[in-house]
Structure 1
Amino acid sequence: MPTPTIDVAQKLAQMRRDYGVGLARELADLAVWAQQQDSANASVDDWQQIRDRLHKLAGGASTFGYLEIGNSCRASERELDAMLCGRAPVDYASVIARVAALPDLLGDDDPAEAEAAAVTEPQPGVVEAHEPLIYILEDEPETGAQLIRILESFDYRAEMFDDGQMLRAACRRQRPDALILDLHFADASEIGGLAVGEAIQAEMDKPLPLFATEQSSEFAMQLRAVRAGVVGFMAQPLEPVRVAGLLESHMRAHRATPLRVLMVDDDQAMLDYHRLVLESAGFTVKTLSAPEQTLAVMEHFSPDVLVLDVRMPRCSGPELAQMVRYHARWLQMPIMYLSATEDANAQLEAMTKAGDDFLIKPITPNAFVAAVQARARRARELSAALSRDSLTGLLKHADIKERVASAMSQARRRGEPIALVMLDIDFFKRVNDTYGHLVGDEVIRALANLLRRRLRTSDLLGRYGGEEFVVALPGCSEAKAVEIIDELRESFAEFTFNAAGESFTSSFSAGVKVPGENDDLQALIAAADACLYAAKNAGRNRVVGHSAISA
């Protein structure tokens, strides 16, 4: 994905200029207010409103490079807060004087200097979804051709090279997603495969994952492989299921959906600024200036992390965080506070009320991206560990049902179809009885990998139990779903499995149903299951839609 350094810097600079125009108006308005104040007659509500305006300015001005103004507003906010909370004697005169002097600081600040220091390129938070490109270095044509067939059957793009220099040149032209190297490869210059990999790594801005088709028993060679970036070895003879499983375990990031962040702040300029920073790093971001909309937006957006301002009108960040935690679905989602307050007690109090992290404005783009990224990634990893089946990496029984129910509701609201598919591996008990459960597990993993590789990231996949799977295809009619699953059925039937010196193939049967107007989840599953059993009774290794058995 091309780095957007110039565009991001230009957009941030324009935001700073626009903010400066609004800042001048706000400071002038505050100065007029200060000049008109009689500190003896001003109400507590008036001072609370001024404190909130100063808090907003402290974060915004500092973020956009007006550091003197930000520091002065922060000092005034702290002083006012202490008076209003009874921690200091009431003496509003000094606050009035400082507020009246704020416009004079506008010419002292140089946001261009802060801009140069703060606008550093955020590191990409996710990898753009695409079909991974794998380069193969192999001097044995038959082995290379076999690898290409295996990879393409799982929808990887693959190219083979029998010359190290040509491979290096190809990597310079287009960075692959991984390399597969023959460790004992030797070209005309007698440079081994691992040496080619080392040379390519030296030319990369970030390391590539390397795989090797042979594993040396020598400690020195293994250590060299680790240092070169070899993450896995493909044992000979090459078996499609094991090769795909090894690649899949290291390449899932290529199909990961972007990390999702929901930000709630009453300062629209701050929302726009941080949204640009996160989106330039690959996040999907939604912003809200109205806290009361948070739960409704979360329901359909499903954020990986929630970022809240601490002090907002009508509802504070900690109060909103507590409301979010009332809902079991959001108990594990990280909540981060982003605020201009430097009061340690206020930070501690906020953290004890449902928060996981506290970031202080101003924060540099890189630091902000890194903090949000770390929380969001860990949240996804934890969610996957709890909700996904350890053998296949697909959603577990209860979790796939919950996701399908949510997808059905969403499809109804949008007036769109959604197809539910029940799949079952044919004669699976015979596989277990003949070849053992470990081989049976390989067959299950092979089907799971095929489904994951060939279906869309928006499709829902789950292991319903044993050798049975559930697939939900949003936006698909029954006829289209039958066509898609039938193509997968044909691909799966071509896989060859090896056990105890024998080779065998497997197949699956499937039933497809699109929910009717009154179908709930249980009725939909039962109907798709009936179609599956119709497929079994018709001879297996086929896909049956509900219209075929209801005609």
Structure 2
Amino acid sequence: MPQSPSSEVRKKLETLRNRFRDKTVREIEGLVASIFNASRHPEAIEELTAAYQLLHRLAGSAGTLGYTQLGEQARKLEIAIRPLADQIASGADKEHLRLQLAQLLDAGCDEQVTGLGNLLITAEPVSTEWHRPRPAEAENQSVLLILESDQELAELISQGLALYGYQLRNLSNGEQWPDNMDDVDLVMVRDTLLQGEGADWLHKLHSLPVICFSDAHDFATRYRLACLGVDACLDEPQDIPALADRIEHLLAEGLATLTGRVMIVDDDSELLEHYRVVLTSGGLEVRTLADPSRLLSELSEFRPDILLMDVQMGRYDGPAMARMLRFQAEWLSLPIIFFSSEEDRNLQLDVLARGGDDFVTKPVSDEFLLRTARIRCYRARQLGKLVSLDSLTGLLKHALAKIELNREYARCSRTGHDSVVAMLDLDHFKQVNDSHGHGTGDMVIKALANLLRHRLRNTDIIGRYGGEEFVVVLPECSLEKAVEVFETLSQDFAQLVFSGCKEEFSVSFSAGVATLNAYESGEQAIDAADKALYQRKRAGRNGVTVALRDVR
């Protein structure tokens, strides 16, 4: 019988823990010998420095790997020995230091030192409660659950949202909430159906975005819904484009909090691998680095959202490395989070003042590590979107869309496969703005952006070219297939109903398509698609026209 994902994660963590235990047994034996040797022979006093460094490392790593008592004891000994280690670094008299160490051991530290190895006998059970894998879903098909007492309205909402590529499930009034909601991505529910249900339904929704339909605007009702964990409240769910825009926002936000690229730098191999297993199992893309001297080249290749780094890594100082990274403008905004067993808040602030953004005290639980990384990645990506994505649609900006198009053109040239570029433009859009206002016009633009994002592939490139015009690149796609895709999209978009100032209305779009690699450059391909677009405009709009000259 195949193992569950959580069981596989637990097995990996147990393997790492056993490896840590076996290595640490030997290290503690050497540590004990070094401390007692330094207490007897002044010429061996410098052995205390290595012992201090090991205690510092164990204070941070042991608890994370399940040996909490060992970590706590190592921390106490680290604090006790730190003044002597500082004096060794400053060149103090060796005999004087030996006497101080001997007195420290005689005062009771000797039993604490010799008892370190016994703390490796037992460990806390490996827990994977934080690991909640979701089943893989079909590409671009989010599942929405709707509970609306007005079945006619529920059917209207279902039909409208289906045009965007969502899968809808209607829950009849009075029907019980499904026991398993692992495959549901978002819930829409009428506020009156939440009355008196309390915890019976709440525990099933706590991890899902919830949109509530409510005609009430009073403070008490809205506050009650907020306390129940509702994420959005709409009084006109029949406005499908507006509803789809809110769904898109909530789903994108939820997905963004579960993904990200993390680089971790630490010289403790077991701890480094432990972090990698936890974060990778939590859905993040992770690259680990045990050799800090390779940091610059690895950063340039991996381009992480955040950097997790130990404060002290052998002969490398974490804050100094952070300061070095800030020499380069491209890394000025990279969030750097330091890990250390240091609990002194003043010392933590000193570390942050030297180039860091946050400080996490070791040991760190797996759940806390995962949540910290997710939140930081999400914030980093939000800031990145301000630079790279169009603020209205969330699509690539003009310049970045052209960069991605040219990259795909180069890829076509290398591999010989066909790709298609399309230019799209909303029909009679000036009339929409003039008749219904620019706010309604923006909603129409967002509706088309959302439709493209949901109905096209994740690998397709979609950008807002300017105003009501869009550019789309379909990698590894034939011209015939592209025409079929855009004709279907144009038909479905024309079915959407928008709410104007005094009336409802619909909008169509025109498209021109061209084979990307049939031209001498990406620019020529865009021009060809643009000319085809305006041929479609002259031919009556609302459809797709293929570029006339589609050869080199």
TM-score, normalised via structure 2 length: 0.80
Distance verdict in 2 for CA 1:89–1:350, change over 3 Å: farther
* Stretch of structure 1 that moved more, 431-440 or 283-292: 431-440
Which residue number in structure 2 is paired with residue 189 of structure 1? none
The answer (yes or no) to whether the contact 2:422–2:529 under 8 Å persists in 1 is: no
Structure 1 residue aligned with 2:118: 108
Distance in 2 (CA, whole Å) between partners of 1:413 and 1:312 is 43
Q: What aligned pairs does 1:205-354 form with structure 2 within 5 A after superposition?
A: 206=206, 208-216=208-216, 220-236=220-236, 238-256=238-256, 258-313=259-314, 315-342=316-343, 346-354=347-355
Given that 2:421 and 2:525 are in contact with CA atoms closer than 8 Å, whether structure 1 keeps it comes out as: no
C-alpha distance 199-267 of structure 1, shift in aligned 2 (>3 A): closer
| Separation (CA, whole Å) in 2 of partners of 1:266 and 1:237 | 54
Please name the residue that 1:155 is paired with.
Answer: 165
**Corresponding residue for residue 78 of structure 2:** 74
In the alignment, structure 2 segments of 5+ residues that lack a partner are none
> Quick check: 354-363 or 279-288, which moved more?
279-288
Residues 77, 490 of structure 1: CA spacing in aligned structure 2 closer, same or farther, 3 A cutoff?
A: farther
Assess if the C-alpha contact under 8 Å between 2:401 and 2:471 holds in 1: yes
d(CA) in 1 for partners of 2:318, 2:305: 17
d(CA) in 2 for partners of 1:305, 1:381: 13
Whether 1:535 and 2:536 are equivalent positions in the alignment is: no
Q: Does 1:86 align with 2:90?
A: yes
Q: Which runs of 5+ in 1 are unaligned?
A: 184-191
Give the whole-Å Cα distance in 2 for the aligned partners of 1:208 and 1:35.
57
Structure 1 stretch 85-94 or stretch 257-266: which is displaced more? 85-94
Q: CA deviation at 1:317?
A: 1.8
Q: CA separation of 1:484/1:254 partners in 2, compared to 1, >3 Å: closer, same or farther? A: farther
Shift of 1:356: 0.7
Query: Secondary structure in 2 aligned to 1:271?
Result: helix
| Residue 130 of structure 2 corresponds to residue 122 of structure 1 | yes
> Equivalents in 1 of 2:326, 2:223: separation in Å?
47
Partner of 1:369: 370
For 1:176, the equivalent position in structure 2 comes to 184
| Alpha-carbon separation, structure 2, partners of 1:524 and 1:51 | 60
Local SS of the residue matching 2:276: helix
Compute the TM-score of the two structures, normalised by the length of structure 1. 0.80
Partner of 2:394, secondary structure, is coil
SS of aligned partner of 1:308: strand
CA distance in 2 between counterparts of 1:111 and 1:264 reads 29
Partner of 1:451: 452
Mapped to 1, the partners of 2:414 and 2:263 lie a distance apart of 22
Instruction: Give, in whole Å, the separation in 2 of the partners of 1:74 and 1:416.
Output: 61
Partner secondary structure for residue 390 of structure 1: coil
- Asked if 1:509 corresponds to 2:511, the answer is yes
**CA–CA distance in 2 between the matches of 1:262 and 1:7?**
23
**Structure 1 pair 490/15, CA: closer, same or farther in 2 (3 Å)?**
same
Following superposition, the deviation at residue 421 of structure 1 comes to: 4.4
TM-aligned CA deviation for residue 534 of structure 1: 2.1
One-letter amino acid matched to 1:369: L
Question: Offset of 1:548 from its aligned partner?
Answer: 5.0
Label 1:128 to 1:389 Cα distance change in 2 as closer, same or farther (>3 A).
Answer: farther
How many residues are matched? 533
> Alpha carbon RMSD of aligned pairs, Å?
4.2
**SS of the residue 1:109 aligns to:** helix
Q: Secondary structure at the match of 1:549?
A: coil
Please report how far the alpha carbon of residue 350 of structure 1 lies from its aligned counterpart in structure 2 after TM superposition: 2.5
1:321-345 superposed Cα distances (whole Å, 9 cap, x missing partner): 2233233333222100112345666
In structure 1, distance between residues paired with 2:295 and 2:16: 25
AA at the equivalent of 1:352: A
Call closer, same or farther: CA 1:200–1:59 in 2, change over 3 Å.
Answer: closer
How far did 1:160 drift? 1.8
